[in-house]
Amino acid sequence: MARRWRVRRKLKFKFPRVNFLFLPIIMFIIASLLFVWLEHNLKPTIKSFAESEANLIATEVINKAIYEKVLYQIDYNELITIHKDNYDRVSLIQANSIKISHLISSTNLEIRESLKELEKQNFEIPLGQALGSHFLATYGPKVKVKAIPVGEIDVQLIQDFHEAGINQTRHILYLDVNVDIRVVIPTLTDKIRVNTKAPIAETIIVGTVPETIVRLEGMDNLFRGSIYGGID
């Protein structure tokens, strides 16, 4: 009996031919679409993060200018005179407008010069940090941010009173600074208001402090509770 031999034919699969010339084009299109999607969805997050960083850096620059270049020339007793009546009670807290005007002018100048240096600098935010990811905080492309001061710098001297013990009141003077900063990132600019309040002098007033009228010497205006001064 003859043996029958079965011949198994190997099936050949034909793979579709890929034109590798189109791969770079396809990858470019995918990358472009991904970039557009990321830009559209991440722009609000990056904008908010950039504004926060610009606010922080500008505040540090302003405070540094005050504490390093202005604070040494401030003497509470040269700015404020406390008058008492015959019973040793506080009758008037009088502000020296000349000294205050000089203080505000010099503060304005020092802050302006410091912010000029800020304008020359750029700072970068890693994209991972802007996304709020701790793991990716130092990774990803860096977004360049520029902070540019715009408009006038508003400087005011304000005061506050706090209880400091039995029959004692702490009188604190602050420099209140406001400045507008333009935040510039790729494809987007916005303006923010930076505010900082720096304590510069204080004293302890012994005795009862009534609701005192604060008078600026040489001026007819009377202010109750706060000392104001600014540069237009």
Confidence label for 53 from pLDDT (cuts 50, 70 and 90): confident
Phi/psi of residue 12, nearest 5 degrees: -105, 125
Query: Of the ranges 27-31, 73-77, 172-176, 207-211, which one carries the lowest mean pLDDT score?
Result: 207-211
Do residues 54 and 183 make contact, with C-beta atoms less than 8 angstroms apart? yes
- Using CA atoms, how far residue 97 sits from 63, 68, 102, in Å, is 23, 23, 8
Pick the closest to residue 227 from 155, 122, 133 (CA basis): 155
The DSSP result for 15-30, as a single string, is: PPP--GGGHHHHHHHH
Query: Of the ranges 21-25, 98-102, 156-160, which one carries the lowest mean pLDDT score?
Result: 21-25
Confidence label for 135 from pLDDT (cuts 50, 70 and 90): low
Q: How is residue 166 written in tokens?
A: 């039995």
